[in-house]
Structures are given as C-alpha cells and as structure tokens.
Chain A
C-alpha cells in the first residue's frame, strides 16, 4: 500500500457542498465505486483530524480512520452506487459504524460481510408513547425509574425475568415478534409499527450454533450494557406538527419511553461464528479485500446464505428482546399509575434496526435492482408512499428514531425521497463515538458524570457505575450536529426532539 502524507490524502477528498464530501477512486486500492460522507463543519473537523492522526508517522494498530474504512468498503466486489458514510460515522470492525453499502444481488460476485452488519445484530431503538405529561411523571420520577430498573434486568451477565426454555427460544428465533404476539407479550398494533413487521422470514435457527443459543437463552428480555439504555423522555420540541400528529405526539411535554437494545450475546456469537466461516470462503473463492476485517463471502455461497439465515434469526432475537422489554415497561408504568397500559395509550410509535443487512429494491442508474443493503450504525429511512412502511406513515415517511447518549437529547426524523435516491433510503443512527472507550475511561471520572446528570434533573439507575464514563456525552459526537447534518443534507427530516428525564443503563 502506498504511504501518503495528510495533504496528499486530501487530494482524494472533494467537498461537494456544505454537507457532503466525495472520496475519489484511488484513495484506497481497487475501489469499484466512489465513497461519500455527510458532515457539517464541526463533524468535518473530527473526521479530518482522525485522518490526520492516522497519517502521522508511526501510527499503526487500532482501527483505520473512518474515511479509509468507507473507501475500503467501496473496493468490495459487487458494490453499487456509492459507499456512504453518515454524519455519526466512527471507526469499527471492518466497516465503520455509520457506513452503509449496497451490493447487487444480480451480480454473482457480490458479497455479504458480517463486518457490514456489526456484532450487535439488529441493535435498534423502539419508541413508546404515553398519554402522560411531564407534570404527571415528575413527582414519581424516582419510583418510576426504580420500577423500570426492577423490571428490566440490565448490565453484563444480566438474566431476564420471562421464563423461556430452549424450545421457546427456537420458536422465537424463527418467528420473531410473531412469537411475542402469540405468547401475548405485545399488542397486535406493535407489529405493524415495526421495521419488517418484527420478523425476518428467512431466519433459520438450525444455522445457528449451539453456543450462540446457550448464550442467548437467559438473556432474552434484558437490556445489556454498553450504549444500550431505556429512557423516560419528554417531548422537547416539535418540528413537523403533522408527522408528530401521525405518531400520536400532540404537544410538547408528552412522555415517551425509548428502548435501545439489540441481540445481546446471541448476535455477537452469530457474527463471530460467521467470520470464521467467511475466512475459509474467501480463500476458496479468491476474494480479495483491502482489510482483513472485511471478511466476506459471496451472497450465493453456502457461507453467505448461512450467515444471512443466522443473521435473520439474530434479528428476530433482537425484536423479541425489545418486545419483551416493551411488555415489562408497560407493566412498570401500569403498576406505578394503577391503570392499564391501554389506558396509558402506550403504543409503539416505531421500532428501527440500525445493524442489519436486508434485501431491498432500489433504483440504480435508472434501473430497478434487487440489492443486499448493509446498514451498520445506519437506519433505514424510507420516503412517504413506500410500500414497506406502515400505513399510518404513508404520508409522512418512515419514522427514524435517533437515540442520543446518556443525558442528551434524542430525535425522531422521517424518511425522504432524496434519501432514497442518495443513500439507498438510509440515514444516521445516533451520536456516534468521538473518543474510544479506553480513552473516555481515562479522561472522565464517573462520579462527575453521575453528578452532572443529577444536576440536569435526570434520574439514573445503572448496574455498573464505573462503566458510565464510557458512555458520557463527552465521549460522543453531538447528536444535534449529526441530526442537523442529515436534515440539511435532505437525507431525512427532523420531526420531534425528546429529552430524557430518567435513564436506566447497564
């Protein structure tokens, strides 16, 4: 590989407009398509600083900078359109988190890469609304946070309170949210307001290793650790009155519950197992990539198909997991206010996945094509009238839930036609890390983080306070910058801003 200095590298980057940069071919070897990333002024500085640091002599090891990772993805076989970096992009395993890429299903060389989905398969966000207002909740905020904490087990090694045996797990893996429905944990309306209706139909539990199932079984219905959380939030600002109205959000001050979680150890094991298989397939089929972490297999190979089937099972696991926590949150609220969840109007507004690969139809160079769309740290954002979005959102576009970091705001956006054309109907997923976990542990004291949350009037319950500083707002990009960039670039549209009043975390 050629070694270039920072200024030489910059020659391959071109600013198209105030929110969008192009990565030209040649930035990394063998690029099949160009790369693109969306940033505003602040995020642009972070992005380029990262590249500058990586260009300093003697900088080896660790993840490649995000721009390099976007370009490496652009060199994968079968990629179409552009390799897209979203404003919250940061380095990850193989693909950067916040990178989306689409591969032509019609091209026999096209690949699927577990690195393009991530280890927490179908990590996602679900938003529930209530008919309560801030003043109803404030007096009992502490009790409510405690009640949620008691219902939803959190932290590394936590175990769920919904009894499951291995047969239940097999069924849940195959049926996704239909399992939760059958068992009565959720409402019929929850299913319609969920991406893919909460079930990947190609899931095949027999392709999942015993080890993954063993890890997953006790963890269903738990939140997990890391950046996962459940928050009680209050509507802070409404940008799009009509979109909010369609979501059942009438006024500022209305209380919502946001759940951010994924497929726990189960998804992690599925991804780990697949990577081992992929390395073998790459050798056999002579697939070359720029980065060893971009392990992949042809979509139509046995390894590729097995991965897609087990990934779908993991996706179903995540939906059942979020559904179980929906059930538990409804119970917690119902107990606290002594009314039924129905009377509290605790409907699911939407449920998005931000680590997933899906087969979708898109227009590429004027032709309709079937693509395998990888979204890692990126949310699907389909425009109004798209046939795959719920009937209630046909006029507004798909709701996109952008979870903030602990103590910061979250947003609800909607999908746009422009996003469909530019980014295969994808947008950002959250704030995106700015500091590595290790760095944030060194920089910030956890007591300080907790004190500041208290000052902001946010109740917090954590399983392991010492890990809190990894998730402190300082460790992340500013979610408002991220959301504003997507809005200004037109790839999605701001609808609602939410601020937390209580947080539970691993």
Chain B
C-alpha cells in the first residue's frame, strides 16, 4: 500500500522501497517535506536531514506534531499516515483534473447542456415562511409535521407520489392495502435493549424492514409470473394414471 501511495506521489523508484528499513524511512520523510509539504521549521528540517543521527526520532516527533498526526504504534504507520496526508493535499490541489473524469461530467459532456432554471434552488429552506407553508401542506394531507420542514416535505412528496396519482384517485382499491391489524406491540422483538423507548424504536424498524421485505418478495413473485406467462404449459393425462394396491 505504501508503495502505491509513494508511486502516486511520484517518489523515485517507488516500487523497490522498503519502509521497514530505518534509513529508507527517514529518507522518505525528508523527501516528503522537501517536495510535498514544506511546512517544517528550519531547525526541524535540519534535524530530519541528518538521517544517521541518534536524535532523528526527536525531530520526527516534533515534525509530525505540526500535522496533528495521532500517536500510532510504529513509525512505519506514522509515515503511512503522512503519505495519506500528502495524497490528500495532491488530490485537493488537482481537484478539477479529477472531476473531469467523474461519471456525471462524462455523461453531460456528450449531451448538449441545457441549464435549467430550477426555482427551488433559490428557495430559502430555513426561512420560517417555507417552514410554515410546508406544515400547512402537511396538515392538508393529514401528515404529522416533523421539526425539520425538509423531512416533512419528503413525507409530503411520498404521499403525493403514491396516493395522489390520477390512477390512484380513480381506483383507490388498487393501491390502498387493507391489511388486517396485528398487535405488533405484543410481538416478541427477539432481543432486549433494556430501554423501553429503544425497544419501541427497534420494533418500528423491524416493521419497516418486514414491509420492505414483503415489497421485495411481491416484486420477485411478479417477476416469476411474468416468466410463467412465457414458459408455463401444465398438462395432465389421465390415461397415465394408475392406482396402486
């Protein structure tokens, strides 16, 4: 891993580096400071440059402090951490270069770009006016508002998308599931968190999970039925039948 980081930083002959060797490790630190970070005080830098000195470690401890490097179990790991830091610097410096290759950008570069004016972008989602209007909307749709109006808005969207489509308004029976009530409060949760409120929350999560699972199973069934429409051809031939003794 260190080798790949060094290679990415264009360290000379990075493939044959062995950080376990003390001398190599010290050279790498000096190279990093000189070519990448350039943040050390002159005294520290001089101390680091003197790679065969006994006091090198003291200077190194000083040095890594100015990056806020956490104390790690070995110098190799600490250098690894520094390498990561250097890579991060490089990436943020060349952010534009990398972004050019991001998926969205590749896609849009092939399509003539139409800058759509989205009026919602100009909205101030934190204003009281926005909050009040969202809560009003929620009230009309009989949704309990949540302190964050954006979350309430999400719920509003969900209700509109599932229950207020033209087809759903015309044939509500097709969409509104009339399930039988189940006393889930009495159901065994399967574990105990020793906290009434947490248990309650876990139960709700269980229900949501089961709901999702049911949805997935229903979709799987629909898929099977679609395949059956092509493959199914059940046959019986009573002439073959024979009752035994």
Contacts and interface: CB of A to CB of B under 8 A. Distances in A.
Interface in A188-234: 188-189, 191-192, 218, 222, 225
A154 B243 contact: yes
B70 interface: no
B233 interface: yes
Interface in A375-391: 383-385, 390-391
B221 A159 contact: no
Nearest to B187: A395
B17 to A, nearest CB: 41
A161 B217 contact: no
Nearest to A155: B244
A394 interface: yes
Contacts of A383: 190
Given A383-B190, A392-B214, A506-B244, A161 B237 contact: yes
A257 to B, nearest CB: 18
A164 B234 CA distance: 11
B228 A385 contact: no
Interface string A232-256: 0000000000100110000000000
B175 interface: no
Contacts, number: 105
B224 interface: yes
Interface string B90-119: 000000000000000000000000000000
A57 interface: no
Given A162-B235, A188-B225, A464-B245, A391 B182 contact: no
Contacts of B233: 183-184
B224 A160 contact: no
Interface residues of A, number: 43
Contacts of A384: 187-188, 190
A391 B242 contact: no
A370 interface: no
A158 interface: yes
A161 B236 contact: yes
B211 to A, nearest CB: 9
Nearest to B232: A184
A157 B244 contact: yes
A439 interface: no
Nearest to A383: B190
A395 B207 CA distance: 9
Nearest to A461: B243
A222 B217 CA distance: 30
Contacts of A391: 210, 213-214, 217
A463 B244 contact: yes
Interface string B181-220: 0111001111000000000000000100010011001001
